[in-house]
Amino acid sequence: DIQMTQSPASLSASVGETVTITCRASENIYSYLAWSQQKQGKSPQLLVYNAKTLAEGVPSRFSGSGSGTQFSLKINSLQPEDFGSYYCHHHYGTPWTFGGGTKLEIK
């Protein structure tokens, strides 16, 4: 199975800052990488798929990049509603696997 390694596990940042979360796949997954956001007590929501395509309604301050085994999610000018947990997962064949998650907290 493809292993997904996400870093950092936690991140503290202030409103207005720019942050980057990275995800590494154990083998080439081309661009089959997605990012989801989960707020406390809520179901996850899709942010990015195919490594860089924003899901409908996702603000443009979010951007995804990467291919092969190295990927990143960048959030420009953090807003209060951006705090929560972020997960990458690959969608290159099955079984799908998630990264361990990144908890983004307010500084």
Partner 1 sequence: QVQLKESGPGLVAPSQSLSITCTVSGFSLTSYGVHWVRQPPGKGLEWLGVIWGDGSTNYHSALISRLSISKDNSKSQVFLKMNSLQTDDTAMYYCARGGLDYGYCFDYWGQGTTLTVSS
Q: Which residues lie near partner 1 (CB under 8 A)?
A: 1, 32, 34, 36, 38, 43-46, 49-50, 53, 55, 85, 87, 89, 91, 94-101
Cα gap 52→41, rounded to integer Å: 27
The one-letter code for the residue type at 20 is T
Tell me how far, at minimum, the Cβ of 15 lies from partner 1, in Å: 25
b/e burial code for range 28-44 (CB count within 10 A of at least 16 → b): ebebbbbbbbeeeeeeb
Tell me how far, at minimum, the Cβ of 97 lies from partner 1, in Å: 6
**Cα 58 to the center of its chain, rounded Å:** 13
| Residue among 18 and 59 whose Cβ is closer to partner 1 | 59
Tell me how far, at minimum, the Cβ of 38 lies from partner 1, in Å: 8
